[in-house]
């Protein structure tokens, strides 16, 4: 994954952790805090469900476009590395077979 992708994920994880900690340490009563946290989590759950549905259905949104681009990039890099690995294995096999014949 690219630095931008890692940075974005790190930022979002930090923001989420900060929001949860901020709510948990707020001076509200426990019941109020739990209600706020429950509301926020429901909201994030719905947003995530919409994103996943859009991604699966092929609906084009900025997030699905970016996710697909990142996925294609990762798949392409994995394919390139696998092809290089196969070439290295073929080379090693040729060297081993060549040394047996000598």
**Between these two residues, 36 and 81, which has the higher pLDDT value?**
81
pLDDT at residue 5 tops 60: yes
Quick one: which of 64, 75, 20 has its CA closest to 44?
A: 20
On whether both 64 and 96 belong to a single domain, the answer is yes
pLDDT at residue 22 tops 60: yes
Quick one: which of 49, 45, 24, 50 has its CA closest to 36?
A: 24
Please tell me the total count of domains within the chain.
2
Residue 81 to residues 70, 76, 78, 89, 90, Cα–Cα distance (Å)? 17, 9, 5, 12, 14
Task: Find the mean pLDDT for residues 2-13.
Answer: 72
Entry pTM: 0.41
Give the domain range for residue 101. Answer: 60-102
Q: Using one digit for the tens of pLDDT, what is the confidence trace for 58-99? A: 777 787 788 888 888 888 889 889 998 998 888 888 888 887
Residue 55 lies in a domain: no
What is the greatest pairwise CA distance in the chain?
A: 82
Helix (H, G, I), strand (E, B) or coil at 102: coil
Q: Give the pLDDT of residue 101.
A: 57
Residue 102 lies in a domain: yes
């Amino acid at each position: 994954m690219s630095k931008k992708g890692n940075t974005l994920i790190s930022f979002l994880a930090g923001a989420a952790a900060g929001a949860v900690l901020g709510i948990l340490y707020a001076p509200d009563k426990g019941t109020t805090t739990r209600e706020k946290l429950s509301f926020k989590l429901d909201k994030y759950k719905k947003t995530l469900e919409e994103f996943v549905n859009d991604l699966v259905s092929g609906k084009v949104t900025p997030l699905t476009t970016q996710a697909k681009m990142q996925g294609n990039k990762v798949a392409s890099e994995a394919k390139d590395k696998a092809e290089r690995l196969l070439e290295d294995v073929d080379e090693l096999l040729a060297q081993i077979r060549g040394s047996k014949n000598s």
